[in-house]
Chain A
Amino acid sequence: MNLDFTVDEQRFREEVRDWLQDNAPRDPQPLEGAEKRAYDVAWQRKQFDAGWAGINWPKAFGGCGMSTTQQLIWHEEYAKANAPDVGSCFVGLNHGGPTLIARGSEAHQAFHLPKILRGETIWCQGFSEPSSGSDLASLRTRGVLDGDHLVVNGQKIWTSYAHVADYQELLVRTDPDVKKHKGITWIICDMSLPGVEVRPIRTMSGERHFCEVFYDDVRIPLDNVVGEINGGWSVAMSTLSFERGTAFMSRQIALARKVEELIELARKTPKGAMGRMAIDDDEIARKLARLRANVAALQAMTYAAISRNERTGMPGPEGSMIKLSFADLSQDLQRIAAEILGPSMLEYEYGDTGWTHDYLRSYLASIGGGTSEIQKEIIADRVLGMPKGR
């Protein structure tokens, strides 16, 4: 163990800090739609032009090839600079791209990866279906072989940014007669193909970034299959382990930053008797102290996992613990914010950002990307080695 950053790493940090300070967009990120896409891709392009695109991607594929420690430094400085959330570029940079790097053909890689890095294409994820949420492997969207095409019929749901996306990582059932995990294929769907219809879903916080996607005889060339026909489950799992692994780092650092913002909020929000602030309330002070400790502990665990990952090369199942804990702490944070803000939370206009919006959004933390219940199952089964209940 050595808890100091090396001189090189320090120098790297300064370089990152300076660049982000001078270049991170300052205007607010739009909440949804075409404006959000335009904002996100412009920022991605700017990072690409300066050589900062694909921090977790190998150099051979056009990325920065940063070590995980460097990625950590990048994310820390990124959060400190208050740079915008990766937004609609998330799936391409953190799921689609890495999956193509791990499992795609040379043709997939040559065509798609540069476009993702340059902010030219937006990706979305077509995994969940109305009847297949936690039980993802039960998915029913059909892909039927017809010559050199798969003909796709069915429906996906909770597809973030589908209405502004160019490509989709799509899971379809290509063999309904075998065990459910064995008949699934992972295919790249061009969202402009005839028969693809996207309908945005409005969330309770008021914005539309989730969508339903309908497929009516959509003909996708077999060349777009990643991995083998009927071998899509293992491709999907490598995507999900990215989601629950390294891609998670930036959100966690953002969480730690949010804790400090909350403490600032408690310092300047009046509560109770004249002149007293929320932080003077013992109950609130204790909750903040506990939250800060829990977030620090989660970060320490993540750092340890990063070092292990450096040695072994793959994110481990502790990703589920990190995600579970992250969801709980994000929600704790928002509960405390609600306590500090009191009735002023009610003075809300839909379309506003800020604490009320964040409070509503925090409900998603334990649902999206695998519910907390599913994370607990994974922890029990794979981390603790208990018998499978399902």
Chain B
Amino acid sequence: MDFDLSEEQNMLQDTVRRFFETEAPTTRLLEIYDGDELLDRELWNRSAELGLAGLLVEEQYGGVGLELLDLAVVADAMGYTAAPGPLLGHALTTLALTLGGSEEQKTQWLPKLASGELIGSVAFAEQGDAWQPDQWTLTVSENRVSGTKKNVLFPSDADLFLVGIEGGRMALVERSAEGVSTQEWDGVDRTRRIGGLSLDRAPCELLTGDSSIAERVRDAALILLAADAYGGAHKSVELTVDYTSQRVQFGRTLSHFQGVKHQIADAAAEVEPARALVWYAAYAFDHRPEEAPRLAAIAKAHLTERYVDASRTMVMLHGGIGYTWEFHCQFWLKRAMFDRSYFGSPSVHRERAAVLAGW
């Protein structure tokens, strides 16, 4: 038994942190917030060269063949660096294909997704906070699908959509196909742009299997969002320690004031123990699938809420500068808002966890 990450996983985390700290530093994030560009394609290509696009894809299809825990470690590092890009939706698309794709579909799509040549994105959410597979309403007839989805990551840049269908099934739709239109929003978190997807008798290919596969994909999403939230919350605490150790008021750095110190200590004590929830949920996903749904729900609800709180403390203790557009606090704060809401609010998942526990 070993309760800690492996050496390889720690190395992976360091590599990914360093990659995004170098390739997408906060000055770059501000450009993204200021600009109208949607996807930073060059950054995406470089991250794909690192293997991130195909991390979950089996080696026979050109991927790295790692497990969800490994991807969670990557998500943690990306949360830590507030890394921009479509990896979440992309990785979930590769996971769905791995779990529910026919041999033909896998051969057709996975190698190009694993190399990053194509970008995948999930289109699950429907009007009224309906993210869960049992809430999907789109219907397929004669291999064509109609309806609208929202909160789709980088809809105008994605090549392949994984669309949630009535009965918890999933279908692939190409963006270039007829009857497909996308809308971009600003979104709160501009490092992960979202928008709408409208389908009007768009050609689609159903994946095999029943709703249990969509639920696996959903659970993976929750775990990855929780991991991102841990990374971001941890970083928020670090940034707060750094700032309060430099900022001088009343002749001392803020970090000397008990009222300040205790707020940061509280934040750390809320965030750090929660990390193991992510690891455990990811491990369960890989090795104890029957436990995964409940653990994923708990991890997502808990971590994303901790992240919102930690980032709130961060802004508060930075004072006015933390509230500005130019300064970096907003990148983590808005990411926390995203993580909290995306794939459903904490209350939704706590309720699910209670039902799954038989309460």
Q: Report if A and B associate in a common complex.
A: yes
Instruction: Tell me whether B316 and A344 are in contact (CB under 8 A).
Output: no
Kindly identify which residue among B150, B257, B329 contacts A204, using a CB–CB cutoff of 8 Å.
Answer: B329
Kindly identify which residue among A204, A343, A372 contacts B325, using a CB–CB cutoff of 8 Å.
Answer: A204
Residues of A within 8 A of B189 (CB): 346
Query: Is B167 in contact with chain A by the CB < 8 A criterion?
Result: no
Query: Is B105 in contact with chain A by the CB < 8 A criterion?
Result: no
Residues of B within 8 A of A376 (CB): 259
Interface residue count on the A side (C-beta < 8 Å): 46
Residues of B within 8 A of A134 (CB): 249-250, 319
Query: Is A203 in contact with chain B by the CB < 8 A criterion?
Result: yes
Which B residues between 252 and 275 are near A, CB-CB below 8 angstroms? Answer: 257-260
Query: Is A202 in contact with chain B by the CB < 8 A criterion?
Result: yes
Instruction: Tell me whether A272 and B351 are in contact (CB under 8 A).
Output: yes
Residues of A within 8 A of B322 (CB): 367
User: With A204-B325, A348-B186, A349-B186 known to touch, is A343 a contact of B319 (CB < 8 Å)?
Assistant: no
Query: Is A58 in contact with chain B by the CB < 8 A criterion?
Result: no
Instruction: Tell me whether B248 and A346 are in contact (CB under 8 A).
Output: no
Which B residues between 309 and 327 are near A, CB-CB below 8 angstroms? Answer: 312, 315-316, 319-320, 322-326
Q: Provide the bound-state CA to CA distance between A203 and B131, in Å.
A: 32
Which B residues between 197 and 237 are near A, CB-CB below 8 angstroms? Answer: none
Q: Provide the bound-state CA to CA distance between A359 and B125, in Å.
A: 23
Kindly identify which residue among A158, A201, A349 contacts B185, using a CB–CB cutoff of 8 Å.
Answer: A349
Q: For residue B185, which residue of chain A has the nearest CB?
A: A347
Query: Is B302 in contact with chain A by the CB < 8 A criterion?
Result: no
Instruction: Tell me whether B259 and A368 are in contact (CB under 8 A).
Output: no
Q: For residue A206, which residue of chain B has the nearest CB?
A: B325
Instruction: Tell me whether B249 and A135 are in contact (CB under 8 A).
Output: yes
Q: For residue A359, which residue of chain B has the nearest CB?
A: B337
Query: Is B194 in contact with chain A by the CB < 8 A criterion?
Result: yes
Q: Provide the bound-state CA to CA distance between A338 and B339, in Å.
A: 13
Instruction: Tell me whether A339 and B345 are in contact (CB under 8 A).
Output: yes
Q: Is the interface of A mostly helix, strand, loop or mixed?
A: mixed
Q: For residue A134, which residue of chain B has the nearest CB?
A: B249
Q: Provide the bound-state CA to CA distance between A314 and B345, in Å.
A: 46
Which A residues between 317 and 376 are near B, CB-CB below 8 angstroms? Answer: 338-339, 342-350, 356, 359, 363-364, 366-368, 371-373, 376
Kindly identify which residue among B188, B249, B258 contacts A346, using a CB–CB cutoff of 8 Å.
Answer: B188
| Chain A residues within CB distance 8 Å of chain B | 128, 131-135, 138, 157-158, 201-204, 206, 210, 270-272, 281, 283-284, 338-339, 342-350, 356, 359, 363-364, 366-368, 371-373, 376-377, 389-390
- Subset of 30 A-B contacts with CB under 8 Å: A128-B320, A131-B248, A132-B249, A134-B250, A135-B250, A157-B320, A201-B324, A202-B325, A202-B326, A204-B323, A204-B324, A204-B325, A272-B348, A338-B340, A343-B129, A343-B151, A343-B342, A346-B194, A348-B186, A348-B188, A349-B185, A363-B312, A363-B316, A366-B316, A367-B315, A367-B320, A371-B316, A376-B259, A389-B257, A390-B250
| Chain B residues within CB distance 8 Å of chain A | 125, 128-129, 131, 150-151, 185-189, 194, 248-250, 257-260, 312, 315-316, 319-320, 322-326, 329-330, 333-334, 337-338, 340-342, 344-345, 347-348, 351
